[in-house]
Structure 1
Amino acid sequence: MSTAPLVRVEGITRIFGTGDAALRALDGVDLDVAAGEVVGLRGPSGSGKSTLLNIIACILEPSDGRLSLDGQVVWDGRYHVADLRRLRRERIGFIFQFHNLLPFLDATDNVALAMTLAGTEPAAARQRARELLDYLQVGRRAGAMPARLSGGEAQRVAIARALANHPRVILADEPTAALDSERARVVMDLLRRVAQEQQAAILVVTHDEKIFDRFDRMVALRDGRIEAIG
């Protein structure tokens, strides 16, 4: 495993509101996630987990601090990337609690769409989509519509979609919350495989104690600060 961080968060602070109404959602957070590593982010509601994930995703601006992705400074007082949409599309993969698959497209086309939106030719996009579905052990369901997929199958298709454009950073928000214990562990084992074989950095927000043993590290947030790393 490479020790070079693909995600580097340095002194990240985020304040909502002003004056007496100001809320310090994040307070000087430092965090690195290396290539090939799967890190869990836990903490009570309101601890800043989703805020941190949205800052790393370049959806929410920090109030202070520095963010680097894949060796490039992305934020340091301002964004240093001209096209944030392209950055998110090409270098960051997103996985959510609910798969959010388009109900009118089959599994293959749900994955291929992410690539065609990025400029990939449709035929090449569909070929890679089928390869990704095979890689995630759901290739036999390539032609199935989302309504015909089980929860675990749909989440694997969502992971394939997240991998479509070869991202180095994958951000997951409660990806196993809607799954039973067995399917949750299968999904996490697949994410670990992706991290190791694709040399991606994966950060997962979770409350799901049944998957804590699937992480390389667990990071605990409380009141906007890192409470523990273990």
Structure 2
Amino acid sequence: MAGPLVQVEKLCKTFGAGETAVRALADVDLQVGAGEVVGLKGPSGSGKSTLLNLIACIQEPTAGKLSIGGETVWEGHWRVPDLRRLRRERIGFIFQFHNLLPFLNAIDNVALAMTLDGVDRTTARQRAGALLDYLQVGKRASAMPSRLSGGEAQRVAIARALVNRPQVILADEPTAALDSERARVVMDLLRQVAREQQAAILVVTHDEKIFDRFDRMVALRDGRIEQEQPRAA
């Protein structure tokens, strides 16, 4: 597919109105291409999580334009009829904490996203098992979340985000709860996913130990992009 998988143009978000209005984002322009891993950094309150939520179609922009996979999804209003379906089929989300369901084992946590989309359980578990193998945690498929290490649980969470083959993967502080070694392993896996599946990955992070794992670092401050820094050769 030609063109970026994520494109935001002059994107704005304001919470509230009148004297109590808070501008969270102002005229943000950003593109993330297929196979690219982009880091988003900035101080608390700079708008990082708000931008991620707008791209995930969880919150509605105030102004600007948002396109996913070459399709305009918001410009003045939502341009797609079913946002839930858009999120299920085209966007994967990875959280700071794995948020695995404690009463399901690893493989069923991953398969659940497919069964909710109408896929039969056998097919969903086959796909989930293949993903867990791909992320080098297949031997833990039957383990409950409480029996997984932090790194293992985050890999399962990544598998869950990938199970519906999304074009776009959004991650909010995915390595914050991990030590340096496990954080680098998780980021290397995300880079592998981006290259092999030609996904666009955008990661919000404060974690300086993984900055060298990104193709670009984008810095936000006071709701605006302050600078972009390409990855060192």
Q: SS of the residue aligned with 1:128?
A: helix
> What residue in structure 2 maps to residue 202 of structure 1?
201
1:161-206 Cα deviation digits (max 9, x unpaired) = 0000010000000000000000000000000000000000000000
Q: How far off its partner does 1:159 sit?
A: 0.2
> What residue in structure 1 maps to residue 192 of structure 2?
193
> What residue in structure 2 maps to residue 214 of structure 1?
213
> What residue in structure 2 maps to residue 154 of structure 1?
153
Q: SS of the residue aligned with 1:5?
A: coil
- Residues 106, 142 of structure 1: 8 Å contact kept: yes
Q: SS of the residue aligned with 2:6?
A: strand
Matched residue count: 229
Distance 2:182 2:200 in 1: 22
Q: How far off its partner does 1:3 sit?
A: 6.6
- Residues 116, 122 of structure 1: 8 Å contact kept: yes
Task: State whether structure 2 residue 41 is matched by structure 1 residue 42.
Answer: yes
Task: State whether structure 2 residue 134 is matched by structure 1 residue 135.
Answer: yes
- Residues 136, 190 of structure 1: 8 Å contact kept: yes
> What residue in structure 2 maps to residue 174 of structure 1?
173
> What residue in structure 2 maps to residue 104 of structure 1?
103
Q: How far off its partner does 1:18 sit?
A: 1.2
> What residue in structure 2 maps to residue 63 of structure 1?
62
Distance 2:63 2:185 in 1: 38
- Residues 41, 203 of structure 1: 8 Å contact kept: yes
Q: CA RMSD in A?
A: 0.8
- Residues 43, 49 of structure 1: 8 Å contact kept: yes
Distance 2:112 2:50 in 1: 28
Distance 1:129 1:17 in 2: 42
Task: State whether structure 2 residue 80 is matched by structure 1 residue 81.
Answer: yes
Return the letter of the residue paired with 1:60. Answer: Q
Q: SS of the residue aligned with 2:170?
A: strand
1:52-71 Cα deviation digits (max 9, x unpaired) = 00000001111100000001
Instruction: State TM-score, norm by structure 1.
Output: 0.98
Distance 1:219 1:24 in 2: 19
Q: How far off its partner does 1:19 sit?
A: 1.4
Distance 1:207 1:51 in 2: 15
**What residue ranges of structure 1 are gaps of 5+ in the alignment?**
none
Q: How far off its partner does 1:4 sit?
A: 2.1
Distance 1:209 1:123 in 2: 41
Distance 1:23 1:3 in 2: 36
Distance 1:19 1:122 in 2: 51
Distance 1:3 1:50 in 2: 27
Return the letter of the residue paired with 2:212. Answer: D
- Residues 3, 35 of structure 1: 8 Å contact kept: no
Post-superposition, which runs of at least 4 consecutive aligned residues in structure 1 deviate over 6 A?
none
% identical aligned pairs: 77
Instruction: State TM-score, norm by structure 2.
Output: 0.97
